[in-house]
Amino acid sequence: MGVEYDGTHFHGWQTQSGVRTVQSELEAAVSRVANHPVIVHCAGRTDAGVHALEQVVHFETTATRSERSWVLGANVNLPPDVGVRWAHPVDDGFHARFSAQARHYRYQILARRTRSPIQRDRAVWVHEALDLERMRIAAVALVGEHDFSSFRAVACQAKSPIRRVLYLDLSEREGLITLAIGANGFLHHMVRNIAGVLMAIGRGEASVDWTRELLEVRDRRLGGVTAQPQGLYFVRADYPAEFGLPQSERADPLQRLKNSI
């Protein structure tokens, strides 16, 4: 399934006792359609407050339903801040997490003097100006395969800190800065830590060489502040064409969100 959600009122993706999570809501809804309990696995777990435009999930079922029935049935049983966009059958060789070849995220920053009631849960607000050109220069060092130890959470459980960043682009429109990044995989808090470092550089608090220096020291304690979660979006995951997933988030998926504001 392709799933979209507003993470504002969730304590993240993963099921946790006593709190509201995307996984628990989705499993309850899909289980109703399947008429048996299901466990849902996702492409990339998101933290509290983080959104998704096309999270990819899979589950095993003995039920026979049409793709349309899975979508409509799940959506009838889901709350307004979660929705299933599509459903597609796959064979036993597919896994939402382990079959993914790459993942893509966006981080939105509203840089203007006054806060925005509309954007309060959609972008992180900074009241000072950010030098976008400095941020772009600093971002170049992060593209490619590197040890991202300085950009991972202290509690990150990944076995290796090596990741390959495929692209890291920064654009701006009417004060709304979008950081777009894709990689073969991400460490815990990696995108938010990158955003925090680049914002510090954009404010002139650090040199444009700081990103390169952090890659070299491989020490999270020197890596700066983790940016807030509400500006982060899981955009999509890429899979081999053989699975035939009907994904729609291909080119500039946040453009329609920008145009609607």
Name the helix (H) or strand (E) containing 75. helix 67-77
Q: Is pLDDT of 260 > 90? A: no
Res 105: pLDDT: 97
Res 51: pLDDT: 98
Per-residue pLDDT band for 138 (boundaries 50, 70, 90) equals: very high
Q: Is pLDDT of 103 > 60? A: yes
pTM for the structure as a whole: 0.92
Res 250: pLDDT: 59
Mean pLDDT throughout 170-181?
A: 95
Q: When comparing pLDDT for 177 and 249, which is higher?
A: 177
Residue 47 annotated among the catalytic residues of the structure: yes
- Residue 105 annotated as part of some ligand binding site: yes
% of the chain residues with pLDDT over 70 = 95
Q: What are the strands, taking DSSP E only, across 24-128?
A: 41-42, 51-58, 82-86, 102-111, 124-126
> pLDDT digit string (tens) for 14-48?
999 999 999 999 999 999 999 999 999 999 999 99
Per-residue pLDDT band for 242 (boundaries 50, 70, 90) equals: very high
Residues whose CB is less than 8 angstroms from the CB of residue 85 and which lie 6 or more positions away in sequence, other chains included: 1, 2, 3, 4, 54, 71, 248
% of the chain residues with pLDDT over 90 = 90
Mean pLDDT throughout 203-226?
A: 93
Per-residue pLDDT band for 225 (boundaries 50, 70, 90) equals: confident
Q: Which domains does the chain have, with CATH numbers?
A: 2-98 (3.30.70.580), 102-234 (3.30.70.660)
